[in-house]
Structure 1
Amino acid sequence: NEEIDSDDVVVSQELFEPLTEPTRDILDKYRVYHNLLCPLRKADAKERAFHSDMALALKLGRNRSDFREVVVITANLLGKNIKIWENIRLRDLGGDVQKCLERYFKEASGKMIDRENIGQHQAIWIRPEQYFLTNKLIKAKQGKFLTDQEGNYNLGTKYVLPFRKEILQYFSPEQVQSVLKPRYKEEPEGVRFSFSLPIINGTEERVEKLYRQKDVEAGDATVAEMDVPVIEIFPNYLDEHWRRHYLFSNHAEQLALYPVVDAEEPKITSRVQEIDAGDRREKVAVVEISSDNAFPEGIEISGQPGNDPLGLVLIKRPLEPRPPDKTWKIGIDFGTSNTNVFRQSNTEERAEQWHFDLRK
């Protein structure tokens, strides 16, 4: 009387056929035969924990997307012939990994697997090297692209992380570092970027992409150099009542910056204005963010025109304000010849005079 180890089928509560009274009396004495008359049936969506053994382990991250299940499609996972979706495995899609990728999973993402519409189950399949990564790895023409303080949060100062903003739908900036474990590896052909994705079956899938500097062919991801833009967030602090932040940047003709905010339907508006920059006029982009949680988690840098994503700068969140250790009572005595100010903390029994030197 062991349970069936499958998420795709369950034992029906209905018998295969109605029982007559004589048969019912016999089966009540021999319960095993009663159970054999309960057929297997396909489990519905509510009874099934997950549809795919290749799904992203969302519990190890977070989910800000519209999808309940994200199927990770890689050559390595397909080659294991595990469950892609319900009863569909590699052998059902021809058995050849490369042909399967080219025929069924050519795009960055989709909702159809052969004739199965997984979108009906709020699901999507993704090619992570396309869906999460840009086709450009950018670095500064000279010096560092990021400051040392920013580099501590972005895997160094030389390159901008080649993530698209979609990565923050499933992982916080802290989880990008601790769960995904991104790495750069400089090679003769270019720079290889890799990161790990947690899979629902308990494994990790290492995803990598080579950004070429030599022997570049059409369609290859490449390393690109650019002038470092000036980026500023104002104000760069948090307060429980503060609902608006601004993002300023130059090089508005070449670059577009998009703040990624962990909030439902934040209001984001942008404009470009000209300012005096010594002997020339310069275009500056001003982005206004309004929300209950308006401080951005990251900034996606895109190219102009076309807005092709170039990379993602993660922003370390300032410390949350906390109640002060002390509270003070202030008393002011407006006298005829002078004014005295007294203060008393919640830890003192007596007030003390507060002296000011207004000449400084």
Structure 2
Amino acid sequence: MAKLLLPTAAGGTESVTLKQGPKPERGGDWNRVVYAAAHVVADPFADNDPWLDAAVDWDKTMAFREHLWSLGLGVAEAMDTAQRGMGLDWSTSLELIQRSVKDAKAGGHLIACGAGTDHLVADETTTLDDVTAAYEMQCEAVEATGGRVILMASRALVKVAKGPEDYLHVYNRVLSGLNQPAVMHWLGEMFDPALDGYWGSSDHMQAMETCLQMIRENAAKIDGIKISLLSAEKEIAMRRQLPDGVKMYTGDDFNYPELIEGDEQGYSHALLGIFDPIAGAACRALTALAKGDSATYHDAFDVTVPLSRHIFKAPTRFYKTGVVFLAYLNGHQDHFTMVGGQESTRSTQHLGQIVRLANEAGLFINPDESAKRAAAVFAARGVV
């Protein structure tokens, strides 16, 4: 029996038995385009200062991408799940993109890669031309590998833009120079507080109008848009206004089952951070959806939602800690060390609840090994 001692909310401990879940298997033909935003594995033996510079275990990092591809998922590379701009700098991100695109092309796998302006430190002298040039440099670097661009939101643009027209100016210029249609990314302030007021307004519905105007003006250059606002209502409202041929990629880690399933007026594709730790469940759900089996679809997906909502709870920007914790527990890496030292951003109570919810969702493939790994982490945090 895979028993594990976990902390309780009352300040004590309780014994929990981990159960074995189904082994992840590649799904059949899907009727949704699906990307998992993949995390990076830190090198725990590097003699570096984690808050200041990143050290990546390239072998484990690339092996995890092979794991996602083997299940039929695409990889959204160098995104916020990979701690982009939150420990992972541009030079390391570019190496990650180059390695991943090379492996994806060799295996015929789906990949798209984040391009932003995170190498640009904006101050009072920074101009819109500087932001545009920063975007163009990263986009050119991504396209030079043969990868599709995911055009990430820019902290520098938030600081420089005076209103919606400045966002339109920058995006119109950047998109005009791309060789293939990009995936846009509207990341909400709950994921990154520095992006508050994106598109020129803190009112999401008003910001949406500006974003939609940009999409309509550049529809031929846009494959789709991922929005991460954690609001099913806002995503559906925007989805219904997209031009023909432009996809909605849900980035809603709270409401993905209903958004991917869709309604009588349409559905969302997926580009999700939660698909990193729940890849097997996602494959089972998507295969069932393609067969029209709604019951099995919800059986596979719905049990993962409480876990996802817990991992992505406020402060949402710390969700990467839960993603990497589960990767460690399921044997995709040999340690719980993160780029930027972000293994410390969630409490012992929070990690304990991740174990409970992952257990209920049937995510532990080897519960004995997962229990041993979890016990080591909790012992170091005083749970003995």
TM interval, shorter chain, is: under 0.3
TM-score (norm 2): 0.21
Higher strand share: 1
The TM-score with structure 1 as length reference comes to 0.22
Higher Cα Rg, which structure: 1
